Amino acid sequence: MKQARERREDQPAFVLHAHPYRETSLIVEALTADYGRVALVARGAKRPRSELRGVLQAFQPLTLSWAGAGEIKTLTRAEWRGGLPLVAGSALLCGFYLNELLLKMLPREDAHPQLFRDYQSTL
């Protein structure tokens, strides 16, 4: 049975992890308030002039939009919401450890709004 194509607009999110996908794209694992952990393909994000290149950073509040069917959706827009300083030193290591725990323990597309708020306040 064919899955329905879904579209999500302007969701508050944080990047947990991003890794290369093909020549110019990234697979981004993000934590959202309403949809939990989601996997998104950021097409062209590694290109030098991509608007996504500087936006998809860990520990920064973002607003993401995506569309698609299946487990991995296509990122259609990402905007930085601002407000948080860059993390450095031991806080950076703790942040990466927290992100790894969330990646390993949370199933995809299982919303945990309180966990999202706790993550945001931890940063």
Interval 74-94: pLDDT, tens: 999 999 998 777 888 999 999
Least Cα distance to 73 among 32, 114, 23 occurs for 32
Q: In a 3-state reduction of DSSP, which class is residue 111?
A: coil
C-alpha angle 60-32-118 in degrees, rounded to nearest 5: 75
**CA-based end-to-end distance of the chain:** 41
11-52 per-position pLDDT tens digit: 999 999 999 999 999 999 999 999 999 999 999 999 999 989
The values of phi and psi at residue 81, to 5°, are: -90, -15
pTM of the model: 0.90
62-75 per-position pLDDT tens digit: 999 999 988 999 99
Q: Per-residue confidence at 109, pLDDT binned at 50, 70, 90? A: very high
Largest CA-CA distance found in the chain, in angstroms, rounded: 49
Residue 2 predicted with pLDDT over 70:
no
Q: Are strands 36-42 and 6-21 parallel, antiparallel or unpaired?
A: unpaired
Domains of the chain: 6-118 (2.40.50.140)
C-alpha angle 72-75-80 in degrees, rounded to nearest 5: 130
Q: Per-residue confidence at 107, pLDDT binned at 50, 70, 90? A: very high
